[in-house]
Chains A and B, each alone.
Chain A
């Protein structure tokens, strides 16, 4: 196994035991990045020199006995909405031409303090306002979409061009590309990971979180992001026995399995059955207020996004991509009453979800209703004859966790008949990341995930 293929946890252990140096690991990841980047286009900027400097510093510190922890010397990518002092934060947009971040985002400062090594800034759907990331190709099948908006981060991690990455998630933008590229993605509880220095799409829905190759890795990154806390939501005992005993896992009777591709449904139901074999007790649950999920998501996101872009939409409208520009313009026409109804609906939805989550520890469901579609496909027609835009389909099962703020983790659970990855979503109570990580870790320990993607050709 090449160093770029290693999980974060495995690389960290090798570095701590001085079987692997941060310089070797970073060189391996940068070489892999150079190899796959022309085909995948995951990065806006590659910071190779900066990375090699940081890796040498990490090597010196560790040799001198100053080991900072599991992220020390680990190469990472950051979605290009996240400020790094002195670097551009382009948001993958011409609107940001000439931008330079004056200071570090909180998350970059924390990861730097933990010793992580920045290899580059990854592509986002422009300003995170979309679900495809059209600049970037799927890590496994380059004729398929990467998903978005954190498409570059998911593809970089899946392809071995970063050992982990950060993304942002407003309506599924960590979980969707993670699922479509076969990686793990964690949207933490609203407010748990600080957003200072991260470009906003929609303040009341935005979250920052990790994309990794394993659940264990996601826990390690979350620990570094949240700092020491007695309630540490990410602590996993090393080599914990795979165990879901005593946990009550809610299986949705409504919503999450409606209009879902049969291969996706079958894979997720198999994974849920496996959790039962690991000792979990399955409980049927009814998802509340499903009729109002999309309306609430849009009622919050559309006016908040338009408000963020108020000045630039007037100053340089032609610099936005067409799909983003028209949403921002149309958002100007939304009455305040619609926004307030959405905020009041959210109050009710949070209350109803809290009631549902009082009966179960975790809800297990598909992350997205369909695998990665071919680039350019704009709509999907379901077996019941209804049609839906691809973006609406990808947001549909993610939005509840953004509206309610509950944590949500996606874990790879197999492939469809074409070989495209499928993700299972685990949703939990606010600040119960540890429970999600425990369940996800138990699953992956007994159903190991594939490491760095081979970057092959077309689906079977």
Chain B
């Protein structure tokens, strides 16, 4: 995947409704690249049928009964 440069960061942000002043392009692009480098490690996981945990109960009710499987 090509690295995100300042012009792309500016275009993406504008597309999201956040026009960035020119003096923000470099620093936002650099931070976005760093965040991407951290989170992209999750692409190694094969999630199979595992659903997102957007809503859950911390005591695990209804979930521990049927463990979910994925290739780690």
Contact B43 A333 (CB under 8 A): no
Contact A350 B28 (CB under 8 A): no
Contact B13 A327 (CB under 8 A): no
Chain A residues near B18 (CB, 8 Å)?
313-314, 329, 332
Stretch from A35-43, A73-81, A216-224, A290-298 contacting the other chain: A290-298
What 14 additional pairs, Cβ within 8 angstroms, besides A204-B54, A338-B42? A192-B58, A296-B42, A302-B39, A330-B28, A330-B31, A332-B18, A334-B39, A343-B54, A344-B47, A346-B53, A350-B63, A351-B67, A354-B60, A430-B60
B43: which of A341, A354, A406 is its contact (CB, 8 Å)?
A341
Please name the residue on chain B nearest to A302 by beta carbon: B35
Chain A, range 344-395, C-beta contacts under 8 Å to B: 344-348, 350-351, 354
Give the interface residue-count category, chain A. Answer: 35 or more
Q: Decide if A10 is an interface residue (CB 8 Å cutoff).
A: no
Q: Decide if A202 is an interface residue (CB 8 Å cutoff).
A: no
A344: which of B20, B27, B53 is its contact (CB, 8 Å)?
B53
Q: Which A positions have Cβ atoms within 8 angstroms of B?
A: 189-192, 204, 289, 291-292, 294-296, 298-299, 302, 313-314, 326-327, 329-334, 338, 340-348, 350-351, 354, 405-406, 430-431
Chain A residues near B27 (CB, 8 Å)?
326
Q: How far is the CA of A295 from the CA of B67 in the complex (A)?
A: 23
The 0/1 profile, CB within 8 Å of A marked 1, for residues 26-56 of chain B is 0110011001101111111101001111101
B52: which of A189, A302, A343, A406 is its contact (CB, 8 Å)?
A343
Q: How far is the CA of A431 from the CA of B43 in the complex (A)?
A: 32
Closest chain A CB from B19 CB (angstroms):
9
| Contact A292-B45, Cβ < 8 Å, known A329-B24, A343-B53 | yes
Chain A residues near B20 (CB, 8 Å)?
329
Q: How far is the CA of A314 from the CA of B20 in the complex (A)?
A: 10
Closest chain B CB from A336 CB (angstroms):
11
Chain B residues near A302 (CB, 8 Å)?
35, 39
Chain A residues near B17 (CB, 8 Å)?
314
Please name the residue on chain B nearest to A296 by beta carbon: B42
